[in-house]
Structure 1
Amino acid sequence: MRNSGFVTRESNRLRAFPTGWFLICFSDELEAGEVKSIKFMGQDLVVFRTESGEACLSDAFCPHMGAHFAYGGAIEGEILRCPFHGFCFDTEGNCIKTGYGTKPPRKAKLRTWPLQEMNGLILAHHQQDWKAPEWTVPKLDDDEWTPLTHHTWELRANPYDTAENSVDFGHFSTVHGYRKTEILRPLHTDGPKLTARYAMDRDAGVFGNKNDLRAEFEITKWGLGYSCVEVEVPEYGLRSRHFVFPSAIDHEMLKLSLAISLRHVAHPEKINPLLRLVPRSVLHKLILAASMRGYKDDVSQDFEIWRNKIGIERPPLAEGDGPIHAFRKWAKQFDPSSSGEHDRVVSAAE
């Protein structure tokens, strides 16, 4: 079977799970005292929250005799209790007591995963060799922003394709109907961080306006699992953050989560004069609901393409395709199956 970069050409399956930080769930999806089953990077895991509020991600099966913690397991204060023999583990995976009051076996160690929780997100670090994370995703200032509105799908796709989508300028018009793409700041990379800024025109139907709107998009990626696009619509005085979180379930299936946060609206009359009469909390909910509908429609337009495409390692790019080669050079650092030799970056016209 021939390989094509990060995926196999014949099926577009992942050859290896990428390194980096990936969404496990949103903070509001995990309550204190809850234990939830999750499939992540081909492994059965549980995510749980202690009574004090600390989130933890661990292997799903008790290292004692293999019971699944999500089926009858319980949180007791700050520990996870196995439903089978009552063995208890702290958030670092140490067995601190058995169900019979005897000394815990030294080898009864539960594997846990590095987590960071901020901005309403619970992110886990994946790395095949289990080295400590070399970088983290920085916390955003969200004091003047609404809580996240979010949605999640499961589909046949991979995180390389979904991450590459945001720099694939050519498909913005052919798939999504955007027009007049303008590069305001070229793609720039700094270790695990990628940034770019561009502007496009789009019909404003989501707001009940038939005229085109000019929107500016500030992309910030931290690895393949975290993408924040800050969208500004100057005509309406709107700023929002559109997030994309692709996370591999296994080599073929992807959990794809979207989220939106809206900066508090100062001048609603720019959208419609009547909106100045609407309470801000109601206004924010209305705008978020409309924005999420449009966002889901946009992203879902790519689904059939992702489900049925193959991987082309060195595509013959045309002018207007966008910085695909530059993106792939950057993305190679997250591919554990890569030799580490980056493709040279070539212009779209080559």
Structure 2
Amino acid sequence: MSKLLYGIVFALAFILVSANIGYELIDAVSTWNLSNYIKIFKSFGKRIVQFDMFTVLLTGGIIGVLYVVLKWLYQLLFVPMNRVRLIEEVGYIREVDRMSKKDMANLVQKRKNMGKPPPVYPNGWFAVAESRDLKKGESKSYSILGLDLAVFRGADGRAHVIDAYCPHLGANFAIGGRVFDNCIECPFHGWRFSGDDGKCKKIPYSSKIPETARVKAYNTLELNGFIYVWYHAEGIEPTWQPPEIEEITKGQLVFGGRSEHYINAHIEEVPENGADISHLAQVHGPIMAAGVDLRDTYNRIWEFGKHEWAGEWKQLPEGHIGQLNLTHGLKLFGVHIPVLDMKVQANQIGPGIVYLTFESSIFGKGCYLQSLAPVEPMKQKIVHQVYMHWSVPMCIRKFFLLGEAIQIERDIMIWNNKKYESKPVLTGTMEDQMLAKHRRWYKQFYSENSPTLHQSKKDLSW
């Protein structure tokens, strides 16, 4: 890509600088005078050598501007968005100017009242990685759900997830380990373990393999662009699976980008937002241009525009799925704009997966895929991917993802600074009763041995 841009830019600059030579060549052609050709090319050579400083700077400026403009256009029109925000970059207010964002986030996290949250690692399927990040024959190290995991892709293209540490002397498989067929080799002594069952298949200096030479291999599922791992505190095998989205598999909906955020809160706080209809007007009513800082979103400057939401949350018959149905409208200067209406349906599939489909009056059907996983007891990683019809330009797909990211970052400002209220004061209204219903529904993902904050608490500073 860079070579192509450089080539285009230098070609355009060359044309601009040598424009006068072109006119002289045209004159020579019209007179069919060979001596004129020779004079022109000699003159051109002298000009190349004898550029004055102004011409050099002008040419360099033209090249620089053209490169920047072309690169920006290419990124806008063809490259999916990758918006990554670290935990210190969103949702904190700096109290002391000389304090860094990271120090401020760490201070708030340490002094924050966590409340009395439920267990920190619920049972279900969780995205450990994104498919595009793991090439065939590659291994990577991840930490989620209090587990250190080695994730690798075998020779047949299948993804495998095992405990990260070799039972021999504790080396991390994913840090320097090589992949052979569907096994991963320990970088320390070359022991090879199968990604299917975790058993040791080869020890280079021993013909006998101890029966205890094995690691835990996790149930793994790859679909819709994510690699999921099954977690259950009681060791129970998967009781359900997230469905495949055929429109994505068949290429009807295509990738438009991703966003990645980190949240300092209990995992249940995030899906609970889906049932919290009354927060939509307060947090997500101001238009996107108002930004993500809740201190500014209600500034009078932005009163000309307002998002309007109406919806309902319910549990589906499958049991492990909760569904939110929303309608969205936009008012500008008090006038409803019908072409910007949207219908939204979000399916919360277990504790860590959301499929959010939307129907736009202008751009048709699209889908957000959300993955949520605890990287620490009270620190969550949330990823959104957007897919829209292949005919929708990349810049529009990116705009939809940006809109979702802005709304999430407003929520993060709440989540990062709140405690988990185990006994909330609720009204008898439908809105608050949906919250109570959601909490009862979510309890199914905890079991007797689900780790609590006290049991799994580590050093939370970074």
TM over 0.5: yes
- 1:133-175 per-position Cα deviation (integer Å, ceiling 9, x unaligned): 1111111112211136222222312321111112211111111
Contact 2:284-2:307 within 8 A present in 1 as well? no
- Once the 2 structures are TM-superposed, how far is the Cα of residue 77 of structure 1 from its aligned partner? 2.1
Partner of 2:123: 19
- Residue 431 of structure 2 is aligned with which of 295, 318, 321? 321
- Residue 323 of structure 2 is aligned with which of 162, 184, 195? 195
Within 5 Å, give how 1:200-239 maps onto structure 2.
200-202=328-330, 211=337, 213-234=340-361, 236-239=362-365
- Structure 2 residue matching 1:249: 3-state secondary structure: strand
- 1:313-340 per-position Cα deviation (integer Å, ceiling 9, x unaligned): 232234363511111111000022599x
User: Aligned equivalents of 1:203 and 1:110: distance in 2?
Assistant: 57
- 1:34-93 per-position Cα deviation (integer Å, ceiling 9, x unaligned): 111101111211111112211011111001111111222111222100011110011120
- Structure 2 residue matching 1:301: 3-state secondary structure: helix
Partner of 2:260: 152
User: Aligned equivalents of 1:202 and 1:158: distance in 2?
Assistant: 32
Partner of 2:223: 118
Contact 1:332-1:338 within 8 A present in 2 as well? no
Partner of 1:65: 169
Within 5 Å, give how 1:123-134 maps onto structure 2.
123-134=228-239
Q: TM-score, length-normalised on structure 1?
A: 0.82
Contact 1:120-1:148 within 8 A present in 2 as well? no
Partner of 1:170: 278
User: Aligned equivalents of 1:157 and 1:79: distance in 2?
Assistant: 37
User: By percentage of residues, which structure has more helix?
Assistant: 2
- 1:253-306 per-position Cα deviation (integer Å, ceiling 9, x unaligned): 111111111134xxxxxxxxxxxxxxx4xx431111111111111101111211
Contact 2:274-2:324 within 8 A present in 1 as well? no
User: Aligned equivalents of 1:335 and 1:255: distance in 2?
Assistant: 19
User: Aligned equivalents of 1:148 and 1:195: distance in 2?
Assistant: 24
Partner of 1:342: none
Partner of 1:299: 408
> Runs of 5+ in structure 2 lacking a partner?
1-111, 286-305, 451-462
- Residue 336 of structure 1 is aligned with which of 447, 451, 457? 447
Partner of 1:108: 213
- Structure 1 residue matching 2:416: 3-state secondary structure: helix
User: Kindly tell me: are residues 99 and 172 of structure 1, through their superposed partners in 2, closer, same or farther at Cα, counting changes over 3 Å?
Assistant: same
Residue 249 (1) aligns with residue 375 (2) = yes
User: Aligned equivalents of 1:168 and 1:120: distance in 2?
Assistant: 28
- Structure 2 residue matching 1:308: 3-state secondary structure: coil
Residue 88 (1) aligns with residue 215 (2) = no
> Runs of 5+ in structure 1 lacking a partner?
1-8, 205-209, 265-279, 340-350
Partner of 1:309: 418
Partner of 1:347: none
User: 1:145 is aligned with what amino acid?
Assistant: L
**Residues matched between the structures, number:** 308
Partner of 1:284: 393
Partner of 2:54: none
- Once the 2 structures are TM-superposed, how far is the Cα of residue 189 of structure 1 from its aligned partner? 2.8
User: Aligned equivalents of 1:310 and 1:252: distance in 2?
Assistant: 11
User: Kindly tell me: are residues 64 and 39 of structure 1, through their superposed partners in 2, closer, same or farther at Cα, counting changes over 3 Å?
Assistant: same
User: Kindly tell me: are residues 94 and 81 of structure 1, through their superposed partners in 2, closer, same or farther at Cα, counting changes over 3 Å?
Assistant: same
User: Aligned equivalents of 2:369 and 2:351: distance in 1?
Assistant: 12
- 1:221-259 per-position Cα deviation (integer Å, ceiling 9, x unaligned): 11110111111122x142111222110012121111111
User: Aligned equivalents of 1:15 and 1:147: distance in 2?
Assistant: 34
Contact 1:156-1:306 within 8 A present in 2 as well? yes
- 1:176-211 per-position Cα deviation (integer Å, ceiling 9, x unaligned): 11644333x65133311112312122369xxxxx94
CA RMSD of aligned residues (A): 2.4
- Once the 2 structures are TM-superposed, how far is the Cα of residue 14 of structure 1 from its aligned partner? 5.7
Partner of 1:99: 204
Structure showing greater radius of gyration is 2
User: By percentage of residues, which structure has more strand?
Assistant: 1
